[in-house]
Structure 1
């Protein structure tokens, strides 16, 4: 009876926790597409596009080296997390495989009969879902590193007459895949709590959504960037160039659609 009751909690609370996590991220996606200025992702994309526009126009070697250094740091962060995800996924896969033999069941202390296959199946579902999340996160971080590598190549190879949109697309895609990889880790964290029970998993999902809502919401006003010609100095004052109209367009700055094709 206790085993049936625990199985019923798994069937009810775990889908509720996953639905809360999925519903929040669908709402976040809607906000990014329709009201990006209210999200941290939209705010960061706005500044990234302005940064790329400024870096591709520079002629100073030290500024070009600084741009490549920033992209290199992003590559290092992505590859580090990708290595961590594949290592954790490999450990989970090896542990499940080593405990899947009849002589070493996934759960010990069972009373045999019909409850043992059900318990084994539930444990397999837990670790399989964890493995899927880690593999998805690994794939996203690898894609992020790849786009940042491409951005580094473009940043160092393109001339001043080349459109900045090529580099902007690579940088935005790298950031988007980085965000997707982190979201997969958040799902993995909630599923990890499932090992301790469905109640712990549901509580972790609610707490994660509450914390993410605070972290993903932005109230910072957007700054309309104006690029300064650092080589043109008249009377000790720097002359500001005209604002880039592309950075003032809500569609060009915030919508990820131009960068997903």
Structure 2
């Protein structure tokens, strides 16, 4: 009975802690991007894309190889997520009680979300690998030339989905420890948020935002 009470108290509290942190992180990315690693990297990628598209003949191979490495990283995470989802589905089908079914279902949904997010990341990186070598100069014969800003948004979208998929993997750890009880789950949630803060928050670097205001970041 006491364990059930802890489940009803500590587990929702741990989830609230993780959700609150990610809502705060989203607010920081939207309003003060230069204080977050996500925002700084987005500004750096914007400059990188413009540099690559400035001389496609010289930088084309480098740009495609870099995007291919990102595709491989997303593919590894997507493959891992779907493999773990399959294992958890087998464990759920073998039984184990309603309580374990809820715990396994939570982990399963987390990994399925990570899989879908990484698939979307692969999608955008694949588009960018072709777009980044398209000439940006406009002429009468090529009026619909791709702009560097559009390619920047495509590359950044791929990175945003990759970051979300990676965070889904992080969240799966407290959910996995929930199998061993609500106390490990709650404590791991606190430790996770503490570690993510140091991984996601960075010093104020305004120099990377030469093409956009420092207090704004275009996410789409």
When the two structures are superposed, what TM-score results if normalisation uses the length of structure 2?
A: 0.92
**Any unmatched runs of 5+ in structure 2?**
138-145
2:217 alignment counterpart: 254
Distance change >3 Å, CA 224–CA 78, structure 1 → 2: closer
For 2:2 and 2:157, locate their aligned partners in 1 and report how far apart those are by CA, in whole Å: 45
Equivalent of residue 186 in structure 1, options 167, 170, 193? 170
Paired position in structure 1 for 2:157: 173
Task: Say yes or no: does 1:88 pair with 2:84.
Answer: yes
Instruction: Quote the residue 1:231 is aligned against.
Output: none
How many residues align structurally? 212
Larger strand proportion of the pair: 1
Match of 1:47 in 2: 44
Residue 160 of structure 1: SS of its match in structure 2?
A: coil
- 1:237 corresponds in structure 2 to none
- Name the counterpart of 1:35: 32
Question: 2:132 is paired with a residue of what secondary structure?
Answer: helix
Cα RMSD after superposing both structures = 1.5
Deviation digits for residues 147-169 of structure 1 (CA, Å, limit 9, x no counterpart): 0000001113x113231012111
For 2:155 and 2:66, the matched residues in 1 are separated by 11
1:123-202 correspondence runs (5 A): 123-156=100-133, 158-161=134-137, 162-202=146-186
Equivalent residue, structure 2, for 1:236: none
Task: Give the superposition deviation at 1:121.
Answer: 1.6
Q: Is the 8 A contact 2:40 2:208 kept in 1?
A: no
- 1:224, CA displacement in angstroms? 4.8
Could you tell me which of 164, 188, 193 is aligned with 1:209?
193
Structure 2 counterpart SS, 1:250: coil
3-state secondary structure, aligned to 1:95: helix
- Give the conservation status (yes or no) of the 8 Å contact 2:35–2:205: no
Greater relative contact order (Cα < 8 A, sep 6+): 2
Distance in 1 separating the partners of 2:213 and 2:171: 34
Contact 2:43/2:208 (<8 A) preserved: no
* 5+ residue gaps, structure 1: 101-105, 107-119, 226-244
161-170 or 144-153, which deviates more: 161-170
Contact 1:148 1:170 in 2 (8 A): yes
